[in-house]
Each structure stands twice: as C-alpha cells, then as structure tokens.
Structure 1
Amino acid sequence: MFIADLFAFLFFKSPQSDSFPVIRWHEAKIFQIQTQSDPQVQIIVDQYLNNLANQGLIKDQQGVWIQSNWSIEADNRGKIPAPAASLTKVATTIASLQTWDLDHRFVTNIFTTGKINNGTLEGDLIVEAGGDPLFVWEEAIALANRLQDLGINNITGDLILVGNWQMNYQENPLKSGEMLKQAFNSDNWSYVIEKQYQEIQNFQKRPKISIQGGVKVFSQKPDHSQLILTHQSLTLREILRLMNVYSNNKIAESLAQQIGGGEKIAQIVSQVANVPQEEILLQNGSGLGVDNRISPRAVARMFMALDTLLEKTNYNLGDLFPVSGVDNKGTIEARNIPFGIPCKTGSLAVVSALAGVIQTSEREKVYFAIVNYGNGLDNLRNQQDVLLQNLHNHWTIEPLKPNSDIEVKFGYLR
C-alpha cells in the first residue's frame, strides 16, 4: 500500500490539495531520458568515414566511439586499442586525480646550513625537490625575491639540489640547478629570462642574489640543515589544465613518473573508467610513441569517469581541458570545433585524435573519441571538426565553460 500511495503522491493530483499538478506517470521527467541510441548519429559517422575512404584512407584504420550516459550512439572499431597520441594525457589526468586532490600543491623546501649576517648567508643554500612539474623561470624569480625578503643577498657556499630537481622541464638536475642560479641574479639574465620576467603577473622585483660557490646535486640534504622557506606550486588542477591545453609532454612525464609509470596509470584508469585492461596499453604518461595504445571507447569512458570525479567539486571538464571558443591558445587554437566543447587533441606522425564531451539538450552529455590513422594530419583534423559540426547541426549544444579562472598566475609562495 505504501508504494502505491507514494506513486500516486508523486504523479497525480491529491484530492485534498491543489498544490500538485497532474503529471501522468509516463510523462514524468525520469521517463523522458533517451535510453535508445539515436540512429542519425551512426549515419553522420558513416558519412564521415565514407568521406575519409573517398580520400584514400582505410575505414578499418579509423576508430570512433560516441556515447551518452544511457546509450551507445556510434561505433567504428571503438573497442580496439590504437596509437592514441596525446589522448594518453586523459589517462594521466585521471591517475593524477587518484593520487592527489585537485587543490594539491607540490612543495619545494629550502634549507640552509649557515646563518644570515648582514645580508650574507654564510653557508650553503639547499633546494629539496618536491615533484613540482611546472617550476619555470617565473617561479625561480619569485623564489629569489622571497629569499631576499629574508635578508639573503649573498651566499658564500654552494647551491645544493637534493633529489630529482627539475626546472623548465630540464630532466638533468645539475643543468636545472644552473638555471636556478642564473635566475637568482638578474645581472646574469638572458633574453629569455628577461622576456618571461616582463610577462609575470603581480610584477616581481628584479632579484640579485650572488652565489659564490658552485651547483651540486646530493641524494639527501646535509646534516644540520635548517628549513627557512617552502615554495608551493600551482594547484594540480591548474597544472593539469596547462598540460592539456598545450599538450605538454614534460609535465605529463613528470606526473607519470611520480605515479609509477605508464603501466601503473593504465591499471588505475582501467578500474576508475571500468574499461578492460586490454583496451589501455601504456608505456608512458605523455602519449609519445606508437606503443601507447588506447581504444576510443576507453577514452570516452575516461571523460565520463572524470565527469563523475568532478561531480562533488566546483569544477567541470572545462577546468581541466581546453574548451573550443574559450581557449585561444594551445592545440585547439586553429581548430573549427563548435563552441563550448571541452576536448583533448592528439597527434603523431600518422595519427590524429580528438576526444571530449558535448553537452546537448536532447541527450544530456555525449562523450566522443576519434582516433584517425593516415597521412595528411591537417585534413584529418579538418574532417574531425566537420564531424563535430554535423553533430552540432543535429543536436542543440549547450556550451560547457570552465567554472574557474583559466588565466594562470605564477609565483605561489608559502
């Protein structure tokens, strides 16, 4: 009796009250969800594939997968893993969010073995790497200014780097240390550093810290080291968005190494996105090389999984990936993708890929992945854009814009 009463309460007007409208049960919103595939979508995809075939490309080398939360809309070799290029970074994004939270900041600790007397640090300055994948010239300048605020203008000892220190994506810790030393003293700046300094938001002072010693790399910090400063990176969300907007391989590899490598990322993503491990075969976190193979279905479901991960936050997929018509830089700068679609590109010598999410009025969110194989990357990109435009003409697209400020500010110090 309770179930019947509840059903009547939800869908029919109560005889004792005029406050509830009459809603026939089959007209209730929950019953309006499109659970059947839209046959027109497969027709649009088939036309796209036929156009590629007419240009000499092989249909069986083109992967397409389009789905909503409720149905599969189109499929061509969608479950077969293929070189997906930088779509691999979608997997790295998921694995990163399973390792750290969105607001995580990588911490670089600064130590010394000496004391500060009249502007001189009598001893060594020690920089302990904390995994920051985006420590660049701007960060080094901000760090130098903070050290000068502590009263350090001269250092009698060495600049010691502890751990896998990386700066400006340079994987050699010693070379990275030389860059840091150069950035500390504006008298030694190159044209590149000067240019970056001019672009810094929240304009920093021009630091002048003279280091008399050399640059050394240690596996652990010296005994009796005293912590004097911590430097925090941009948030993980900001780092991931920059990685995806510019498809930065160095950031992706830095994150992947800290997570445990390509195979570990594939294991994490297989579980989170509920995709068979056989459809996600990764050697690294960037997508460089044809040995990184992902099925279009797996990529689409990665975007679905990310959407789920973001549900309880103030962010959406546009806060992690470039959005067409919103971002006028990076890999989608010259693309003709319909407005308001968060997406990720991928390119290798004969591979062009595109994946993302389309928010529609008719079928809510629709996730897509296109992995093309063949010569003529510019043409493949153009055809991908045409495919999305045809889907745009078929559906009513509701632009999905970032909820956050997409302009990144460097120089976070705590």
Structure 2
Amino acid sequence: MFFGVLTILSSLFNFSPTPPQVPLIPWHEASVFQLPTQGDEKVDMIMKKYLQGLESRNISLNQQGIWMQTHWATLADNRGTIPAPAASLTKVATTLVALDKWSMDHRFLTKFYITGSINDGVLEGDLIVEAGGNPFFVWEDAITLAHEIEKLGIETVAGNLVIVGDWRMNFRENNRASGDDLRRAFDGESWNYTVETQYQTMENPPPRPKLVIQGKNIFLDGLLAQSRLLYTHSSQSLTEILKAMNIYSNNFIAEHLAQQMGGGEKLGAIASKLSNVPPAEIQLINGSGLGVDNRISPRAACRMLIAIEQKIKPHNLTIADLFPVSGIDEGTIQDRKIPHGIAVKTGSLAVVSALSGAIDTEERETVYFAIINYANGLDDLRNRQDELLIDLSHHWQIKPILPHSAH
C-alpha cells in the first residue's frame, strides 16, 4: 500500500522515492583542505630575525607582541595572546563594533528646525540645529548646508541659533566652540583664513553663503514645542566615515562613535564577543586608543580584522574599504615603506608602536598580522616593522587588496 502511494506521487510530481546518488569526495580532497593548515618555517625564520634585531637594541622581547595567522593556521606567535598597550589599534575594535551597531550605509542625520514665519527672506524666529551624532561634520558640510537653507528662502535669522544636544563640529570637543563654528560658516563675511581655505578646496563649491543670524547662540537639551522641521542634513556613509577615521587615525571620530556605542568598556566586551577571543585580550577605556590602559593582544587584533571581513563580505566590500592601503592611501602610512597593496592600521603612543593588517597572498590566501612594540625609538620600530613585511613580501606573492570602488 505504502509503495503504491509513492508510485502515484512520483507520477504526479515527478518525485523519485529513491534519492539520486550524490558523488562522494574524499574528505582530504575537499577544497577547504587544499589550503595549508600547518605553520611556515620561512615565516618563523623571518620572525626570529625580526626579534633578534630588536634584541640587538637591548629591547626586552617580553614586551613585544607578534601574531600572524591565516583562517587555518597560526604562522607566528611571540606573546601573541598577551594584551598590551595597542594605541590606535583600538580603532579596529571601534570599527568592528560600529559595523555591528549600524548598517554599512548608515548616515547620521542633523536636523534643522525653525520657529516663527519667513517673510521677505527674514526668519522671524529661531533657527534650531539638533545634533544627530555625526562625528564628521566639518566646514564644508556647514557651508553647503547654509546654501540649502538660503534656497529655502532664509537670508537672515532675526532670532537665535538654538543648538539642541551634543553638537560637535570640526572635531571640536567643546559644544560652544562648535556652535561658534557653525555660525561663522553660515556667513561668508565672517570667514577667517581657515574657513576660506577649506572653501577654496571644495569640489563644485556652492555660492558663498550670506546667512546672518542676529540673535545669540542658545544651548538646550530638547526641542522647543513650536519647532517645525526645515531641513535634514545627511552625513557620509558609515563606511566612508570609518575609512577616514582609520586613514588619519582620527581620535575624535573614534571617541565620538564609541560614546554612542556605550563607551570603551562596553566596546571592548562587544568586540571580544564578535571576534571570539577571551575578554581579557581586549581591555578598553575608550574608542580612540589614547592612553596605555587600552590593551589588546596581537591575536585579538587579527581576529577583529577577520570578524570585520566577515561582516562586510556580503556587501561586496573589502578591508581596503575601511582601512588604508600602502601605496594607495595617505594619512599615517604615507611615509612608511610597507609593500604595496597591504591594508593596515597603525598605532602610536610615546613608547608604543603598533601595526596590524591583512596581506592577500597567492600561497596562503589572506594572512592577518599584528605587531605591538613597547619601547623607545618609534622611528626605528616602524622601520623594523616595515622590513618584516618586506621580508614576507619576498617570501609570498602578494596581491594588492583594493577597495570595492577599484574592482
């Protein structure tokens, strides 16, 4: 009876009661096992040469961390799981957690409101700006914004400039100084040399604004009841902001983002979970890396880069969309001798020189590395890090890591 039913079903739905045979691949021939899963004697020799060079300077190797790995093998390890002052490698954690909190194309919104009516170009009331967490609002944004407000029929504000929330502009920590900058940017007649210079460098700049605010700067915690939305300014995308943060190792952007994500301690806890390393390997007090109390192990730095790649890969992005690439980008790597096409993040404090990144190789696919030096003589330490990467480039055939826009 049962087999009769199966026969009827198979005739109706072209269903075979016997599943087709799936060709079996011996486990050791599967593609995943074609990648090397063992260490590399040559890489070990390169690391030992590097450490011997440090030792020749009487630098204690107990304070020098190195970790190098692929997805399948650990290639180098010297105190690689010991957390150490990591300086701006902290921004790798900030990048990872930001990508977890917001979407890739997230934009921070700065909203402008008005009170009163607009008559013959005069706003008979206040112009209100509500901070929206944009860590990258600069002169160019304010100048463009002033032009948009003028296009909406406002040439003069008879009332006050009301600033609501934690307003930050031009990487200033001070709320009131940021308010002064906004007012200055709106009126071309009040520009100083700095604003004029930025205006001259703008691509397709708008007409020089002449938006005059007659009242004072007022700071409030919340919107006025009679506020009416006038205009919404969108920031650059999150990925663009993170790339700028990492290229120039901008502490303000990193810390402003970290504060919106709960602060350094929470940032470290989330980064630890996302990168699957023990919490002890990521100990943070802020999102920028300022201060020796930010401690990250070299292994954790590599694992965070891997976690970042896993997040962005479905969006057809590469790590080069978020971090500077040697030979392509400027910023903190422009004077380094890092081989062409390696994506990196630098870190420096008074006695800390750190470097972490990814190398795309023919032989090992992507190799992740992190070096954290704790010693005097930062220029010499940087040169030795670069020489280590040069030696690796002679060992492997390196393929440049390019941003999505270059593909």
**1:192-231 residue pairs with structure 2 within 5 A?**
192-231=194-233
- Write the mapping of 1:165-314 to structure 2, written as runs, cut at 5 A: 165-314=167-316
- Kept in 2: contact 1:174–1:216 (CA 8 A): no
Residue identity in the other structure for 1:304? I
Partner residue of 1:385?
A: 386
Percent sequence identity over matched residues? 55
Q: In the aligned structure 2, how far is the partner of 1:340 from the partner of 1:383?
A: 18
Q: For 1:398-409, list aligned pairs within 5 A.
A: 398-404=399-405
Match of 1:412 in 2: none
Alpha-carbon distance in structure 2 between the residues aligned to 1:230 and 1:4: 59
2:4 aligned partner? none
What is the distance in 1 between the residues matched to 2:146 and 2:155?
9
Letter paired with 1:61: Q
Residue 206 of structure 1 aligns to a residue in which SS? coil
Distance, in Å, in 1 between the alignment partners of 2:133 and 2:405 is: 24
Q: Secondary structure at the match of 1:7?
A: coil
Q: How does 1:39-58 map to 2 (within 5 A)?
A: 39-58=41-60
Cα separation, 1, equivalents of 2:321 and 2:380: 29
Structure 2 CA distance, aligned partners of 1:224 and 1:26?
A: 71
Separation in 2, partners of 1:396, 1:26: 25
Is 1:6 matched with 2:36? no
Change beyond 3 A, Cα 1:150–1:64: same
Matched, 1:134 2:136: yes
**Residue type of the alignment partner of 2:393:** H
Counterpart secondary structure, 2:370: strand
The match for 1:347 is 348
Q: RMSD over aligned Cα, in angstroms?
A: 1.7
Amino acid at match of 1:149: K
- Structure 1: runs of 5+ lacking an equivalent: 12-24, 407-414
Give the partner amino acid of 1:281. Answer: Q
Q: Distance in 1 between matches of 2:173 and 2:251?
A: 12
2:39 maps to which residue? Answer: 37
Partner-residue secondary structure (3-state), 1:234: coil
* CA drift at 1:31: 3.3
Cα separation, partners in 2 of 1:3 and 1:391, compared to 1, 3 Å: farther
Matched, 1:338 2:354: no
**Alignment correspondent of 1:161:** 163
Shift of 1:172: 1.8
Q: Give the letter for the 1:373 counterpart.
A: Y
Structure 2 counterpart SS, 1:311? helix
Q: Shift of the alpha carbon at 1:59?
A: 1.1
Instruction: Give the match's secondary structure for 1:6.
Output: coil
Partner of 1:409: none
TM-score where L is the length of structure 2: 0.93
Question: Displacement, 1:144?
Answer: 0.2
> How many pairs align?
390
Deviates further, 74-83 or 163-172: 163-172
Quote the offset at 1:405 in angstroms: 7.0
2 CA distance for matches of 1:4 and 1:389?
A: 52
Look up the SS of the partner of 1:272 in the other structure.
Answer: helix
